[in-house]
Every structure is written in structure tokens, then in C-alpha cells.
Amino acid sequence: MSFQLAVRRFLQAPSSVIQLYHFVVLALSYAMLGYVGIQLANLSYGISLIWPPIGVAIALLLRWGLNLWPAIVIGGLGLQLLASDFSLLQAFILALGSALIIALHCAWLEKTGFDRRLEQVADMLRFVAIAIISCSAILALFGISLLIWIGRVPAADLVTAWSSWFLGDLTGVLIFGLALLIFERQKLAVLFQLKNLLALGLMLVLSAEVFIFNQTGLGVALTLLPMICLLWIAMRTNLVVTSWVVLCFSSLAIYSVYLNAGIFATLANPTMGTWLYMASLGLVSLILSVSAAEARLNAELMRRAIAATKTGIWDLRLDDKMLFLNAHLLQNLGHGAYPRKQPLPEFNPLIHADDRVRLQQEVQAYLLGEKPQLKLIVRLQHQDGSWRDQQLEGAITERDLNGEPKRLSGTVVDVTEQQQLQAKLNSQAMTDELTTIANRRAFMQHLTLCWRQYQRDHRLAFYLILIDLDYFKKINDQYGHDAGDKVLQGFSQLISGRLRQTDYFARLGGEEFVILARAESEADILALAEQLRQAVSTLSFNVLTQPEFNISASFGIAGCAVNVQTAEELLQQADQALYQAKAQGRNQVVYFTPEERSP
């Protein structure tokens, strides 16, 4: 049976079988690695330089589930009964206390949202603070307190014994626990690339010379060289590879302590010297690996986001006005597919002349702190000669020693389609769908604007001409609503074709229309209205087999005057005049006078 098939069948087994398997593995691993740690015990009171069981226990609980914590009790109890002279009660207390401390710290980690893959620096810091430092410190305090209680350690040696125990547990979590916690076979495969194998081989050779052989007599001078190899691997690979390389490196260091060999053997405390070198180098490498991995991940996410959205990136050095443009920005403008660096003046012609000064003003206002952000839409020229709307955003990304801006960076996104769509939506919101002229909403905005202008300058007086199609309801009833729509459309086309560009024509609703126009006198506006009335009377319509019919309209006019206080009042006066035109028989023009107010 192949290994892959065996694994597949095992994973398909009932969960209870898998749980039992995990329980047994955790218990045996804890006991066996603890036995190895005891055999390597070379510190005071039988304390080991490195205690692998705690690292294995934390890693497997976080990988397989906290409900396996009793396996630590079983493994610890068996370990103490087989490899120490503790009584059953003493062994049980030590095993149970250790298991509870480890389980509680794992639960604490999970409660913080800890991700065991350690892809973020925040997760690495949580692991260091909770699993490595806090858990090791409390375990050491518990263990030494128990040893003092049973008379194995003098109370006067509490600090010294605690420090030794703490360092052993800390190293066990850092070296063994981390490597097992994040192990993934796929990620470890990166180690077997030739360049990484060469770096690993060189590191192991140099480490063996430093820790064990010292044949060259240059051991002290060579201590930095393994660090270079290890840091290179940490920066170039991933945390899984780095943790296992650190494990290999640490194994050599531990073995050198066991042999009492290498350059650290000449120190007053070779064990502590080796531990400090091993632990500090390992911790720095692991943190550096996480930082590099997070930076690579963030860079990849940014690259994908930029590629997916085709976001342009720009970077401007303010001292020499050197501008960097990424490939997407240039592609969006049809100017090639490669990044470009060029002086800012060479790029200025691509900015629309009407936007160039505005852009400079916005940038200057932002740099002076007058505006909280740099964000605006400018037009950039495409290679085909067309102008494309681009949303430009930027921020100060570097300052000099005096705090003055030194570099600006930001994004450019093509928003031409969005701008066109927004303009279309705005037009639809302000346009009557049937007649395609302005609607009531658009007219009221225009009326408000014109009224404000008139209030500032009475020379900008204007007139309102309200128009109502006569007997329009009868047309709908006799010929149908389709015919009514054709009448409205034909009427709108006729009026639009006879007005000046300065006149504003809108449909207020139903068969009611309005014109806002300026004229030299009442006589001129009356003449315009009369011309329109006569033109409307000539309109004729054919509806299928029905006989041809004509239409007419009534006109009511009101103009700005000293006694008119608001635009709404002016509109009401025009409506009063229209009412009088209808009351007098329709198809005529009436100019508002106070006497014509309806009751």
C-alpha cells in the first residue's frame, strides 16, 4: 500500500480513531522527548539546557485541539515515573500542573485570534509573548516551587534555578515548538532548491567548526558567518524552512554543549554562552523571516490589486521634479507597457491645459497643509488624441529632516466611463423622458439660479411664460394616449426649434410647459409668445385612420418686478396669467397684472 493511500484511508477513519491516534502521539512524544531532555540535563539540579516536550505539547495542542491536554498529563506522569525518583503524587502534581499551564496558554493564544501559520508579525509577537515567554516563565516558577517544596532545591537558589528552567523551556518552544507548529511539507520543499541547500550546507559546516571542531583556530571570527547564511535563508524562503534550519543549527549547538567542545567550551559558563548565541540568533532569524514573509505577502496583494484594477501609480521627487510612472498608468493612456521615469515638465503636456493650473494649485494647497488630502479629477491625453478623465490621489510619503515634504506618491485611476455614466444619470434625472427637454426639477434649479442673479443685479431680469395645451384631455380620450404623446413630442420640438439658445424650455408635467427668457421689454416678450402661439396653431397630427386635427395652446406671462419677492411668487403670477388666458377662451397670450388674480 502506498504512503499516500495509507494517509487517505487514515483521514477517512472515524473522528474518534483520529482523536485516539493524536492522543497517543502527543503522550508518547512528550514522554520520549522529555527523556531525551533529562539525559542531556547539564545545568544545576538536573535541569536541561533545552526542554523539547513543552514545545511539542504547545504545537500539537494548537494543531489538533485543546481537548488533548490530558495526553500531556499521561506523558508527563510516565516520564517522571520512569526517568526520575519522584513519588507518584509528586509526579502527578508536576504533570497535571504543567498540562494545565500549557493548555491555558494555548487557549489564551486562540482567544487573541492567533493564526498558527504566523504569516503576520502580530501573530509572531503573540506567540513570543504568550507561548514562549509567559508559558515558559510560569512553568518554570511552578516547577521550581514544587522542587523547593519537596526539598530538591534550596529556597535560596530560587532565582538561579528558575532562570535555568525558564531558559530550557523557552528554547524548547522556540526551537522545537515553532518548527512543529507551522510545519507544511509543501513549504519545506523550498529548502531543497539548490541555492538554499548550498546555504544550508555552508551554514552547517561553519556551525560545526564553531560549535564542535574549532580546527582552524578562527572560531570566534567565524561566529558571524553561520548567522549570514541563516539570515539569508530567512529572507529568501519562508518561516517553515527557517524554523527547521534553526532546528538543525540548534541541534549542533546543543551537541557541542554535550561534548563540551567548540569555542564556547573555554567560557566560564559554556552552557549559557551557547544558549545565548543559539537562542538570540534563532529568535532574530524567525522574526526576520516573518517580517520578510509579511512584506512579500503585502507586496503580492498590492501587485494583484493593482493588476486587477489597472491602477496607475506615480511617484514624484519634489527636489528635482523627477516623476516615476508605473506600467499600468502608461498602458491606460496607450503609451507603452513599461515603467517610465522622466522629468515632470515632460509629462505636463499630457495634462489638459484647463486642468494643469488647477492641479498645481491643489498640490500646493495640500503641501502647505491647507487641504487635508490630495484628490481630484484631471484629464490626461490618450495616445489616440482623446482626453480621458483620471482620478488622481496622492499623499506625502517622505519628509526631510526639517519636516518639509520631499516626496509625493499616489494613484491614478481611469474614471472616464464612470464620469460619462454619471453625466448620463444626471442628464436623465434632469430631463423629461418623453420630450427630452428639461423636467420640472431641472427648471426649478435653473429658476432659483436666475432669481439669485437677478437679486444681485436687476439688469438680469427675466420673464416666465407658462404654456398649457388646450383640450389635451379630449385628445387623449378621443385618439388615445399614444396620440397624446405624439402631440407633446411635436409641440416640444416646435417650441425648441423657435427659441434662442439663451432661453430655457422645460416640461412641468402633463400638458404644462414653461419658458424662462430675457427680453428688452414686455412688448418683446409678448411678441415672442404670440409668435409661438401662432406656430402651435399650425401644428397638425394624423393618427391612423382618424381625421387630421390641430392643436392650440394658452400662454401666461409674468416678469421680474420690484414688488415680486420670491421666484415662487413670480411662478404663481405666471400661473395666474395662464388661468386668465384659459378663462378668456384659450388659445391666447395674457400678461400678468394685479387685477388678473383669480379669486
| Same domain, yes or no: 385 and 463 | no
∠ at Cα 64 (58, 70), nearest 5°? 65
pLDDT for the residue numbered 186: 86
pLDDT for the residue numbered 339: 66
* Last-in-domain residue among 258, 277, 307: 307
In a domain, 358, yes or no: yes
pLDDT at 574 over 80: yes
How sure is the predictor about 598, in pLDDT bands with cuts at 50, 70 and 90? very low
Candidates 326, 322, 356, 320; CA nearest to 338 is: 326
Average pLDDT over residues 334-342: 74
* Last-in-domain residue among 374, 389, 418: 418
CATH code where residue 370 lies: 3.30.450.20
Q: Across 162-166, 500-504, 512-516, 544-548, which has the greatest mean pLDDT? A: 512-516
Average pLDDT over residues 432-455: 91
| Same domain, yes or no: 196 and 298 | yes
| Same domain, yes or no: 52 and 116 | yes
pLDDT at 465 over 90: yes
| Same domain, yes or no: 392 and 257 | no
Give 382-394 as a DSSP string: -TTS-EEEEEEEE
How sure is the predictor about 278, in pLDDT bands with cuts at 50, 70 and 90? confident
CATH code where residue 516 lies: 3.30.70.270
pLDDT at 193 over 90: no
DSSP, res 130 = I
Average pLDDT over residues 201-209: 83
CA distance 476 to 313: 60
CA distance 53 to 32: 8
| Same domain, yes or no: 459 and 368 | no
| Same domain, yes or no: 175 and 207 | no
How sure is the predictor about 14, in pLDDT bands with cuts at 50, 70 and 90? low
More confident of the two residues 229 and 31: 31
Average pLDDT over residues 222-250: 82
Q: What percent of the chain clears pLDDT 70, i.e. is strictly above it?
A: 93
pLDDT for the residue numbered 45: 65
pLDDT for the residue numbered 599: 44
Question: Regarding beta strands 387-399 and 374-381, do their DSSP bridges make them parallel or antiparallel, or are they unpaired?
Answer: antiparallel
Q: Are 77 and 86 in contact (CB under 8 A)?
A: no
Range of the domain at 247: 185-307
| Same domain, yes or no: 234 and 351 | no
The identity of residue 36, as a single letter, is: V
pLDDT for the residue numbered 11: 46
Helix, strand, coil abundance in the chain, percent, nearest 5 = 65, 15, 25
Structural domain tally of the chain?
4
* Last-in-domain residue among 258, 289, 307: 307
In a domain, 425, yes or no: no
Q: Are 513 and 536 in contact (CB under 8 A)?
A: no
In a domain, 25, yes or no: yes
More confident of the two residues 237 and 44: 237
pLDDT for the residue numbered 516: 95
In a domain, 464, yes or no: yes
pLDDT at 478 over 80: yes
How sure is the predictor about 562, in pLDDT bands with cuts at 50, 70 and 90? confident
CA distance 238 to 336: 35
pLDDT at 546 over 50: yes
| Same domain, yes or no: 222 and 164 | no
In a domain, 423, yes or no: no
More confident of the two residues 588 and 333: 588
Q: Are 202 and 210 in contact (CB under 8 A)?
A: no
In a domain, 124, yes or no: yes
In a domain, 268, yes or no: yes
What does pLDDT average to over the chain? 85
Who's near 482: CB < 8 A, 6+ residues apart?
Answer: 543
Q: What percent of the chain clears pLDDT 90, i.e. is strictly above it?
A: 35
| Same domain, yes or no: 18 and 65 | yes
Distances in whole angstroms, Cα of residue 114 to Cα of each of 117, 130, 131, 336: 9, 11, 11, 45
How sure is the predictor about 338, in pLDDT bands with cuts at 50, 70 and 90? low
pTM of the model: 0.56
| Same domain, yes or no: 35 and 139 | yes
CB atoms within 10 A of CB 220: 12
CA 308, 309, 310, 315 torsion: positive or negative? negative
| Same domain, yes or no: 488 and 518 | yes
**pLDDT tens digits, one per residue of 345-371:** 888 888 898 898 899 999 999 998 888
Pseudo-torsion of CA 257, 258, 259, 262, nearest 10°?
-10
Average pLDDT over residues 304-317: 80
In a domain, 5, yes or no: no
pLDDT at 293 over 80: no
Cell (9 digits) for 248: 538543525
Candidates 176, 137, 136, 148; CA nearest to 45 is: 148
| Same domain, yes or no: 360 and 381 | yes
How sure is the predictor about 151, in pLDDT bands with cuts at 50, 70 and 90? confident
**pLDDT tens digits, one per residue of 74-132:** 999 988 888 778 888 988 999 999 999 999 999 999 999 998 888 787 888 899 899 99
Give the phi and the psi of residue 590 in degrees, each rounded to 5.
Answer: -130, 130
